[in-house]
Structure 1
Amino acid sequence: MTAPVDLLIIGGGINGTGIARDAAGRGLSVLLVEQDDLASHTSSASTKLVHGGLRYLEYYEFRLVREALMERERLLTIAPHIIWPLEFVLPHSAEQRPAWMIRAGLFMYDHLAKRRRLPASRAVRFGPHPAAAILKPQNRKGFTYADCWVEDSRLVVLNAMDARERGADVRTRTKLITARAEGMLWSADLEDRATGARETVTARAMVNAAGPWVGDVLSTRLGRNTQKTVRMIKGSHIITRKLYEGDFAFILQNPDKRIVFAVPYEHDFTLIGTTDIPYEADPAKVEITPAETDYLCDSVSRYFRTPVTPADVVRTYSGVRPLYDDHAANASAVTRDYVLDVEGGTDRPALLSVFGGKITTYRKLAEHALEKLLPAMGRPTGTSWTASKPLPGGDMPNADFDAFFAGLVKRYSALPEPMLHRLARAYGTRAPRILGNAVIMADLGENYGGDLTEAEIDYLVTHEFVRDVEDILWRRSKLALHVPEGTASRVAARLQRKKVREGASFL
């Protein structure tokens, strides 16, 4: 048995990797285990937004909205390659929430926290606005405001990478079988899901950041009882071919008082979501229903000149949000705030369980988690540091993506500019680690389609915890929407050859 680590973290979603990064940066020894791939469930099934949560103001979630708005500015600065501003258009008619209520909400949204890089909201008439060509004629006026887009699964991976570079041990495809307190240590049995090998590790404290499985970890793996429970809410999205030109998104109000987003996606597509439905089945097997597809299509068709039908859908995805159960009657009204539950620390080892949360506030959640956990461990909290330190690839002067991209194009002038833009957005200042001294495409090795090259695959395996095709084509990128038929099998064959050649080092 190896020496104890300070912190064993269960779960490789945004909360687990965010806590791992923060803890490693404070000098703790960290082991994070994830039973599947990083961001393979809830954290890659979001609407891809870093936002304050405008609609949460209706439920008086002022603290959460203010914190989220503050985090929106911070994240835009530390990860300018995977996070960028996005304009939202909110059509309005007399049948919806009163205009004065929306104006008041947007005024609060503008002023609950300082805005440094995003414009203020405004009322608009759609005559001169390009949205007029998309919306039905009766939609003559509305509002615009700004929030941010985020590559959600990449945000998770970048936090895991930074944690590892600061000394954390990050293991994917590794499952917690059981854990028990032995004196002032946790003794945990882990299983490598690729090989079936088992190992027992010890830790001074444990974080349960298992998302939809947080309750299962407590009851089944740790044998604990708690009054705090997770309310699982399913959110589904559909992807269609591009419904409109323009780099702005829509926020659409439905008669049931819910809102649906329509967002430009991967250049050639539109992302539409999300639903809010109570869910009680296996979170690993969540999928959209025909009724949800109809609901999302109808939500957009209510506003757009060109109707959207299920036949227009090219891809769907669903996720389960592990919200803290505040016993709200309406699933849409369940708090998106997080609850951190700490046990032990005096006569038994400390355990912190994460209930709820949203991707925008993950960094602050991690800070709060360590502020609670470290005293329970008898350790000083140290200094908060993650608010200003860029994530891997985000260390651009003045967080200026456009200037960085212009320099990349100048340096690699003979390579396709669309490919360079994709690499700049995905990897930021680390894109040259893939491109190296390439002058022409052939210098990057075999092209697997969609400008996915041998050099990029090798980088992903070496640095980004990649083990299979879906890791690459869906969670590290969305190239599955762009590559020709046969790419997946070719990439799988390359990964298999690499696995055979490198053996244990690949795992």
Structure 2
Amino acid sequence: MNRDTALGTLAARTHFDVLVIGAGVNGAGVFRDLAAQGLSVLLVDKGDFGSGTSAASSHLAHGGIRYLEYGEFRLVREAVQERNRLLSNAGHLVKPLPTAMPLRTRGSGLLNAPLRFLRLRDRASPRGVWVVRIGLAFYSLFSNAVANDLPGHKVLNRTDVGRLLPHLTTELKACALYHDALILHPERLIWELVAEGMQRSRQCLALNYVSVAGMSDAQVELRDEATGRELVVEPRIVVNAAGPWIDRVNGNLGQASRLIGGTKGSHLVLDHPNLFAALGGHMIFFEAADGRIVLICPFHDRVLLGTTDIRTDDPDADQCTPEEEVYLLNLVPQMFPGIQMDARHVVYRYCGVRPLGRGGGEAGQISRDHSLHLHRGAGSAPPVLSLVGGKWTTFRAFAEQASDRVLGELGWKRTSATVDTPIGGGGNLPRTKADRERAIRDATLDGRLKPTDAEALYGRYGTTAVAVAKACSPPDLDERLPGSRYLAGEVVHICRTEMVACLGDIVQRRTLMAMLGEATPELLETVARMAAPILGWSEDRCQREIKETTQLLARRHGVNLP
């Protein structure tokens, strides 16, 4: 279904069981779960699917080992188990990530950790070998409750660390090794959740670029941001999954709230082959001198560096400041003193606001756990269920809990579970090397595509790669876009099937062209002209899309094209 068709469908109907506001990972998860129960569900977002906070994560599926220090055992247990489920259900986009935690002391933190656990101390202190050993023991215990193939953890001495990671600083006592997981393309995973929800039931509809304008009695007023068209729907219940914008959306619904106390986090994407090689496939996860948690992570053929954690009440704080960039770049020499780097290595910057619940203490101490808040309006107004907090990793469990609350409110029984349900191209993934090679051969379409291109498609789309390959098989569509790893046919497939509304949807979310530093004037021009006939863009619209995308990349992501 394309966006115009979906908009026409919405205009022709008014009644839905559930209106979900916000198409980040939590909203998309709720949409998919409720669709599986046979309810009629409408999902809307004022931007594109997965374009807000969910696009600004550290790209990790992890348990959050540091949260154990704050006594959040339930959260860590849930998170490591959901990480394992993501590895199983979305194995095309979520991969095991060897993680190294350098340790500069042995006994440090033995006193501080219990004091922080009891909330008797705010100030951080370095975590030493013994504290980390205890934490990893709990981590492994929780993880083993859900089947997984991840290796166990271990702690290396200084000599063994030098053999494994020779470029790492020698000012260490030891290094802990364990596994978490990397989400290769979060925005695509969100799209697959949305698409699956619509595929499960014709009663379910999702629309990007549709905002909430207000609520009058039982009617919620919507506005199509692309055309200004106004629409009205009558849901039996509203799910507010708008992330850091939750309070603003509740205000638009006439139900004032003060639920969110967010923090801002910025990341840098680096094109630095020497640093990438020095990582040896490992994420380096460590504490900076000021106590902040830092990650240096291999991401495709780039390096992801993050993150900051700064309190903010502005959900639209979407820019990585020069001060944050300098701060992050200066962290790398702490771990890799022999590697030189500067701002010239940065190909992309991004920032988002974590939708955390209001709380005191340091920014890093605010709980990453999630909660549900139900507000019953007056008269015939539908109740509003707000989803506060949460981690990317735990979206499925949070969506399940929210969906159960909705089902209870509507007097509807759960008929389907998502705990073992594959996501998109994660269904029926081959388990052996031979089966994977056979699947890649299938994606060559009897030799019409090069094996290397078919393998790349399989890596991006999993078991749905054959459908994309067919779009890439005609002459000229099997060629790579200028300066990109993507094939021309992928753009055609995306424009035809993935509800694209603008050029930014293609280069920033349906693909990783911009994030991986591939954006150039030539690339934007090529992609826009390929999209134009499919999406019905005029020459003026085509030029406007190029200009607006160029400006957005410069303003929000520090990508200044010539």
- Residue 65 of structure 2 aligns with which residue? 54
Q: Which stretch shifts more, 253-262 or 415-424?
A: 415-424
Which of 382, 385, 388 is residue 420 of structure 2 equivalent to? 388
Q: Does 1:273 align with 2:303?
A: no
Which amino acid letter does the alignment assign opposite residue 130 of structure 2? Answer: W
- Residue 45 of structure 1 aligns with which residue? 56
Aligned-residue offset at 1:371? 1.4
Structure 1 residues 467 and 418 mapped into 2: Cα distance closer, same or farther (>3 Å)?
Answer: farther
Which of 291, 296, 300 is residue 262 of structure 1 equivalent to? 296
- Residue 299 of structure 1 aligns with which residue? 331
- Residue 399 of structure 2 aligns with which residue? 366
Aligned 8 A contact 1:435 1:444 in 2 = no
CA distance in 1, matches of 2:328, 2:471: 46
Q: Name the SS for the 2:313 alignment partner.
A: coil
Unaligned ranges ≥5, structure 1? 503-507
Aligned-residue offset at 1:342? 1.6
Which amino acid letter does the alignment assign opposite residue 17 of structure 2? Answer: D
Aligned 8 A contact 2:471 2:489 in 1 = no
Aligned-residue offset at 1:416? 4.0
Aligned 8 A contact 1:266 1:478 in 2 = no
- Residue 148 of structure 2 aligns with which residue? 116
Q: Does 1:63 align with 2:94?
A: no
Aligned 8 A contact 1:188 1:201 in 2 = yes
CA distance in 2, matches of 1:438, 1:16: 32
Aligned 8 A contact 2:14 2:232 in 1 = no
Q: Does 1:315 align with 2:333?
A: no
- Residue 410 of structure 1 aligns with which residue? 441
Q: Name the SS for the 1:284 alignment partner.
A: coil
Which of 390, 409, 416 is residue 357 of structure 1 equivalent to? 390
CA distance in 2, matches of 1:382, 1:320: 33
CA distance in 2, matches of 1:162, 1:106: 36
Aligned 8 A contact 1:158 1:391 in 2 = yes
Aligned-residue offset at 1:285? 4.6
Q: Does 1:102 align with 2:138?
A: no
Q: Name the SS for the 1:491 alignment partner.
A: helix
Write the deviation string for residues 254-312 of structure 1: whole angstroms up to 9, x where unpaired: 12222101110121x1100111001233x335111122112212222111131443343
- Residue 505 of structure 1 aligns with which residue? none
- Residue 472 of structure 1 aligns with which residue? 506
Structure 1 residues 117 and 346 mapped into 2: Cα distance closer, same or farther (>3 Å)?
Answer: farther
Aligned-residue offset at 1:417? 4.4
Write the deviation string for residues 374-420 of structure 1: whole angstroms up to 9, x where unpaired: 2222x2231341111111111124x6385554223333256444433
Q: Does 1:432 align with 2:466?
A: yes
- Residue 143 of structure 1 aligns with which residue? 176
Structure 1 residues 22 and 119 mapped into 2: Cα distance closer, same or farther (>3 Å)?
Answer: same
Structure 1 residues 452 and 142 mapped into 2: Cα distance closer, same or farther (>3 Å)?
Answer: closer
Q: Does 1:289 align with 2:318?
A: no
In angstroms, what is the RMSD of aligned CA positions?
2.3
Which amino acid letter does the alignment assign opposite residue 137 of structure 1? Answer: T
Aligned 8 A contact 2:472 2:490 in 1 = no
Q: Does 1:134 align with 2:164?
A: no
Which of 167, 191, 200 is residue 166 of structure 1 equivalent to? 200
- Residue 213 of structure 1 aligns with which residue? 245
Q: Name the SS for the 2:458 alignment partner.
A: helix
Which amino acid letter does the alignment assign opposite residue 318 of structure 1? Answer: C
Q: Which stretch shifts more, 91-100 or 414-423?
A: 414-423
Q: Name the SS for the 1:6 alignment partner.
A: strand
Which amino acid letter does the alignment assign opposite residue 370 of structure 1? Answer: S
CA distance in 1, matches of 2:485, 2:475: 11
Q: Does 1:72 align with 2:83?
A: yes
Aligned 8 A contact 2:255 2:377 in 1 = no
Aligned-residue offset at 1:350? 2.4
Q: Name the SS for the 2:134 alignment partner.
A: helix
CA distance in 2, matches of 1:18, 1:93: 40
Q: Which stretch shifts more, 346-355 or 296-305?
A: 346-355
Aligned 8 A contact 2:21 2:240 in 1 = yes
- Residue 214 of structure 2 aligns with which residue? 178
CA distance in 2, matches of 1:404, 1:199: 49
Write the deviation string for residues 74-117 of structure 1: whole angstroms up to 9, x where unpaired: 11111110011010011111273121101001111111232522
- After TM superposition, what 4+ stretches of structure 1 lie above 4 angstroms from structure 2? 128-131, 345-348, 401-404
Aligned-residue offset at 1:445? 5.3
Which amino acid letter does the alignment assign opposite residue 195 of structure 1? Answer: T
Aligned 8 A contact 2:100 2:176 in 1 = yes
Q: Name the SS for the 2:361 alignment partner.
A: coil
Aligned-residue offset at 1:345? 9.0
Q: Does 1:489 align with 2:493?
A: no
Aligned-residue offset at 1:28? 0.4
Which amino acid letter does the alignment assign opposite residue 372 of structure 2? Answer: L
- Residue 462 of structure 1 aligns with which residue? 496
- Residue 118 of structure 2 aligns with which residue? none
Aligned positions, number: 490
Q: Which stretch shifts more, 400-409 or 477-486?
A: 400-409
Structure 1 residues 126 and 152 mapped into 2: Cα distance closer, same or farther (>3 Å)?
Answer: farther
Percent sequence identity over matched residues?
A: 33
Aligned-residue offset at 1:456? 1.2
Q: Does 1:333 align with 2:365?
A: yes
Aligned-residue offset at 1:250? 0.6
CA distance in 2, matches of 1:180, 1:403: 59
CA distance in 2, matches of 1:401, 1:79: 16
CA distance in 2, matches of 1:257, 1:317: 22
Structure 1 residues 179 and 230 mapped into 2: Cα distance closer, same or farther (>3 Å)?
Answer: same
CA distance in 1, matches of 2:453, 2:517: 12
Aligned 8 A contact 1:232 1:322 in 2 = yes
- Residue 186 of structure 2 aligns with which residue? 152
Aligned 8 A contact 1:230 1:323 in 2 = yes
